Amino acid sequence: MTLCNDGRARGSRGGLAPVPPAPARASVTGMSGADPELRRELDATLRTREDLGPEYDEALLDAFLEKVDQRLDEAVDTRVRRRLAEQRMTSVREESGRRPFDGPTGPGAVFALALTSLVLAIPLTAIAGDQAGLPGLLIVWAGVVGVNAVNAAGRLTRAHREDHRADD
């Protein structure tokens, strides 16, 4: 027996009414895959609606929208935290670019280093002269001169940088 497009047997003039096709199961096909968990939640809500009927639509919709609201809050919180962290990093970089701490400066710091060098050089000279002779004395005083030279070079470099900042 062959059927016509309307579901009746070909050649028959009456009979049973055609059976309408079963309603398609509600599913979400238009959502992007950005949040698969949210998509599963919506599918579950639609299946539950089919089981419970339309009298529970409002409760089901409220529950689903609450979940969507939670997801949005989480996404916004994450973005806000990320932006704040980026702003903090940018401000720290800008502040550190303005004036790096290069140690104490000024005439007091220079005098303190010179005085400390001489105070330490006296006992070191005595010990080196007694233990190692002339080579020991040369090593001690080369160290004292080296420390002071490095400090002076650092002060010159800082002064040079400050001059260039003033020109900008």
Record the pTM. 0.37
Question: Average pLDDT over the chain, rounded to whole?
Answer: 77
Residue with the larger pLDDT of the pair 68 and 8:
68
Concatenated DSSP letters for 69-99?
A: HHHHHHHHHHHHHHHHHHHHHHHHHHHHHH-
For 107-139, the pLDDT digits (tens) are 788 888 888 988 999 999 999 999 999 999 999
165 pLDDT tier (thresholds 50, 70, 90): low
Tokens representing residue 136 in the block: 């020991």
Instruction: Provide the pLDDT for residue 168.
Output: 58
Tokens representing residue 42 in the block: 């919506």
Residue type, 37: E
25 pLDDT tier (thresholds 50, 70, 90): very low
Instruction: Provide the pLDDT for residue 79.
Output: 95
pLDDT at 155 over 60: yes
Task: Judge whether 33 and 39 are in contact, CB under 8 Å.
Answer: yes
Residues 6+ apart with CB under 8 A from 60: 45, 48, 49, 52
pLDDT at 142 over 50: yes
